[in-house]
Structure 1
Amino acid sequence: MFQRQRKCVGARSVRRSLSGTYFVKVLPNYSNLSGAYRVRVLPQSGLGLVQDANGEPNDTMYLAQPQILGQVRTASIAPRDPAYNTRDADIDYYSISTIAGRSYTITSSDLAGTLVGSGVMRVFDSAHTNISTSGSCAFTSGTCNTITFTSSLGGTYFIQFRPNYSDQSGTYKLCARVTGQTCSNPPPATVSGYNPLDPVRLLDTRSGLGAAKAPVYGASSVSVQVAGRGGVPSSGVAAVVLNVTAVGPSSSGFVTAWPSGRSRPTASNLNYLAGRVIANQAIVRPGSDGKVTLYTSATTHLLVDVLGYYPTAGGKYVPASPTRIVDTRTGTGAAKATVAGGATLRFKVAGMAGVPSTAKAVALNVTTIGPAAAGYATVWPSGVSKPNASNVNFERGQNIAGFVVVKIGADGYVNFSPSAGANVAVDVAGYFPSTSDLTGITPSRLLDTRTGTGSVGGGQTIAVRVVGVGGVPATNVKAVSLNITAVAPAANGFVTVWPQGTRPTASTVNYTAGRTIANSIVAKVGTDGYVRIYTSARTQIIVDVSAYITR
């Protein structure tokens, strides 16, 4: 959009058909003309480009800020930039994760500046249909307007807050909650150490949350804003803990996650099969722009949930650019040979990929490749007996990755053992120094419903004690590293793990009927020392613990 004396003199509308770099050419009508001009690119709703000149990131539904249920957010409507003769005011969008059939209430309050006596809210469902609009706020303090609605579709819903007129600006407060729940101010940020969060969805390409409402094409990438969203601070973040899910890929392939602005590493975080839904955890350093980039080798929808973060202050976790230290197909870090079923591969991690000899635990992505039969693999510290635990569950011939936080043995090595012959690739994601608040332990089984209470019914939630058991202290624990396995589920579905309270719209393990699969999670512990586990279909559930994080 061209500007002369703040008047638009030329505009073009272009619909993007291909991803990648586009070019804008500006030229005068006559060869003897010269002078300065300004160019501005404005997106249509849903395309996700930043609309306002001051760089606010949530002017479109595509870049909606995740709103934590029950927490009060203080936000602002920015003044319209006088450099441009646009008619639009600043608009804010927020996203909430909903469960079909549940009632939710949205309130705005405490308007200030020229917003006083203004301010309208709208709610859009996961199909982007406006389902409710509030009246204008007429109060200077206290609750201004309220919308209560029932989620009929489930999934991600969107909240829009906008002033009545384009020249209005100021601050306001907003709260979204399950109807009947109270609102509270967000907890103060921890200055050092791991900060566990209730799971919040940052990306869902099925609904257009955080990216275009479309699958990510094969051999292409999508960047996800993580800083400043879902409880993650806008700056000072060393690493974020994410759960990445591929939904319905067009063919077998993999996903790689890495800091935005850097070259893609030769590593994978998630391996998938055509048509399946599968998830894996990743700890990733955000780029300087606060984003994480995801590459997919095949076309697929992608979901990203944030589980917590490590701040740069304190140095409790040191992220690394993903680096491969073992690949038995090529002889990297181990013999060039398949690891036999029941055999143990001992590989060095201390002194590798930047991991110092003083590190007490390491974050690894372990991929089993072409196993000879269905089974599982266990990863544990060198120097101790193999535990009754699993980290990766696989099918015959399936390449599948599992994220593992494992204590480093006294000799600087870690062990890997598959139940069936397989190749293995190991990538280092980062390490926990001797001063870290994380303590790795020999993996221990906390729950196995096959030998205890029996399978968990579809739509049911169980509470599992995670402190005072399995080598985890009874007090002063804020998070635990768990491996969750769904065994022989009755139907396709998912498992969600969270501390307590309302179940979030997030997934930890995604499963296919009859197939056993696992995923890890650094889970926030409830105030009662338990975590909650929900399954959408009947399944057996196994829970192993490999580390804990103290307050």
Structure 2
Amino acid sequence: MPGPAQAADPVEPAAQAAGAPAVDATEGVAAGFGTFTSTAGATATGSAQLSVFLSARMSSAHGFELTTSLNRGTPPLDTTIDWGDGSTDTVVASGSSETRTRHIYKELGEYTIKAAVADPVLGTHATNEVRVTTLGSEFTPYGPTRLLDTRSGTGAVKGKVQGYSSTRLKVAGNGSIPAGVTAVALNVTATNTTSGGHVSVFASGATRPTASNINFEAGQTVPNLVIAKVGEDGCVELYNGGWEPVDLIADVTGYFSRQEAGGYAPQAPARVVDTRYGTGTQRGPVAGQGSFTVKVAEPGATAVALNVTVTNPQEAGHLTVHPAGQTAPTTSNVNFTAGQTAANSVIVPVGKDGEVTVRNGAWTRADVIVDLVGTYGTASGGAANVPTTPVRTIDTRSWPNGPWPTRGYVRQGFSREQEAWVLNATVTNTRGTGFLSVAPDPNSSNDYAHGTAVTPERPVSSTLNWTAGNTVANLVQTGTGAHGIVDLWNQGWDAADLVVDIFGYYDNE
């Protein structure tokens, strides 16, 4: 039964790593990730006395591992592999063993892998082929454009989404978004709420996950950025996990597809704007209905990932972030009430000079803080997105040693092979004010295991902010540093609970 501070449905507790310091660090254990697909080749052609067998599995965003074997044990024969991108390899294969060969494609897309083998003694030959599609996807900016607004009937039937039910939103083929997109970046807002609950966004046709994207209370308007898998029918589902009906809004800022577009380069959060101190723009609150423009990217960038925070607002309102040089859209990124400090992740296209504009949609002034966490574009290093079925990896509500440590951090281990991870962090059971910071850990797992770990430097950037009694969620896109470990800091003076769900990762190979 949803209450005013529910962080989605109860799930199995995350495991704890042994040997973690008892005071300031506890490690959550992530589920094993890696989506693999085996595809059998067509029937081999050639002599009945000689056949070549192939199977391919996805090994990374850009790569495959090809298994080659023959139907004869001796003698071992040279098999030539044409990868379909202009490159070839020669391997020695026989029926008595399987040969595995890995290949990384420079560009995403579909390829036909062909294998050919000949026996010069018997004069026989065989060929086979298998069609593969790379796992990763790259980002194309779009909009910001409103795809869904149940208040007006945009993208769905007009009227609130009923409790414990969902609405289906068409993404692929909507406007100029092409068919075949794998994931979408949406800013989803719950509004006109009359009770507590949560919203989950997931691929159409998939089982609804236990993970949530937005948590809301009666009377709140709450946005959150979502990177969600798109179903085979080109749609996503938005599920209202509360008892009472709620209006839902979804604004698209880009999509991911298996075409070369823009790779992602994560970075440690860098503060580019703080109006309280004059960082990046004029010092002082942004006037009501006012705006400022700031350079956030270099040439070659198409979009940026930001964390935008409003603080000291005089009354309720919203912030809109959009490419510089364009008219402000009707979409919003951060919604706030008088006196509230609120943050939200933002993925936004940049203007021609790498600039974005932030507009204060309230009638009175407010301070604005902007942290840059990553860049999309042709010059960004080419990390491709791999969306996954949402999985819960940390839930301190079920941990035996109690809630998230005050002024301390929880560390989460990831694979070092990935460049960055897409998370949704939720803070609940809050007892005071505070904020969440996320940063790579400078230590390795061996450092923690052998007691040689140094205390990480406390970050200054915020990912989400809360007050007593709130449940607050926000999307987190974080690099994993040199050791594949990320720290999630409780920057408040009171205990709270932390819930972290994994929605995907970025892979550079």
Interval of TM-score (by shorter of Structure 1 and Structure 2): 0.3 to 0.5
* Higher normalized strand content (fraction of residues): 2
TM-score, normalised to structure 2, is 0.45
